[in-house]
Amino acid sequence: LDRILVSPSVLAADFTELAAEIDRAVQGKADLIHLDVMDGCFVPNISFGPPVIKSIRKRTELILDTHIMIEHPVRYAKAFAEAGSDHLTFHLECADPTAEAIEAIRQAGCTVGISLKPATPAEAVFPWLDRIDLVLVMTVEPGFGGQKFMADQMPKIAAIRREIKRRNLHVQLEADGGIDETTVIPTASCGANMIVAGTSVFRHPGGAAEGIRLLHDAVS
């Protein structure tokens, strides 16, 4: 297996010491920082938005991997870009037309990602693959950290990887939800090269660096 990229999800961090938590992820050699934005409409939870991202931007030069679980990405793409996001990943199932969301994110200067909820089939993203940089496959229902990994999403990851290869595209394939040192193994084997991990990094008893190290070790 190729080396995976690990994107720790700040949703599982202790928000009273956000700066120290970011530092721990950086010192643990995180490849990116995953930022889960929730609007209380697209998902039944509310997290944080551009002001928090702007603060995190000042603390690290790592790629900010922003996952916007919101109904209206077109309306907010610029705000997330200006806050310092690098990747901006919206949901295919959101209320805005996909082509408009892609265009708004490009215009704002971010790399474009599309995320799929568990019930959305792999084929739904195929028509967009040549216009985007990243596909994010949810391995839990979006909305909350700390949920159980859905192994039934593995064939979807494999199908998207096959299509990326078949068309010789340079699209990153990321998986998100319930990933730890055990579930990372099938996820990477099916072709995900980028792994989001909240609980297994920021709540690891041995510390965030240990959580990141275990993810790499499991698939090397």
Does residue 65 interact with Zn ion by CB under 5 A? no
199 is in an annotated binding site: yes
Tell me which of Zn ion, ligand DX5, none is bound by residue 199, counting a contact when its beta carbon lies within the kind-specific cut-off of 5 to 8 angstroms.
ligand DX5
Please say if 176 is a catalytic residue.
yes
Catalytic residue among 65, 133, 176, 180: 176
- Please name which of 13, 61, 7, 4 lies closest in space to residue 32, comparing C-alpha atoms: 7
| DSSP per-residue string spanning 111-163 | EEEEEE-TTS-GGGGGGGGGG-SEEEEESS-TT-SSPPP-GGGHHHHHHHHHH
Does residue 196 interact with ligand DX5 by CB under 6 A? yes
Please say if 36 is a catalytic residue.
yes
What are the Cα distances from residue 54, in Å, to 7, 9, 18, 45, 62? 18, 16, 12, 21, 13
Q: Which of residues 170-209 bind Zn ion (CB under 5 A)?
A: 176
Does residue 174 interact with ligand DX5 by CB under 6 A? no
Paired strand residues for 216 = none
Residues in the chain: 220
Does residue 197 interact with ligand DX5 by CB under 6 A? yes
Catalytic residue among 31, 36, 65, 133: 36
Report the distance separating Cα 164 and Cα 68, nearest Å. 23
Closer residue to ligand DX5 in complex, CB, 7/98: 7
206 is in an annotated binding site: no
Interface with ligand DX5 (CB under 6 A), residue from 173, 176, 190, 204: 176
Catalytic residues, which ones?
36, 176
In the complex, the residues that contact ligand DX5 under the rule CB under 6 A are: 9, 11-12, 34, 36, 67, 140, 142-147, 176-179, 196-200
Binding residues: 9, 34, 36, 67, 143-146, 176-178, 198-199
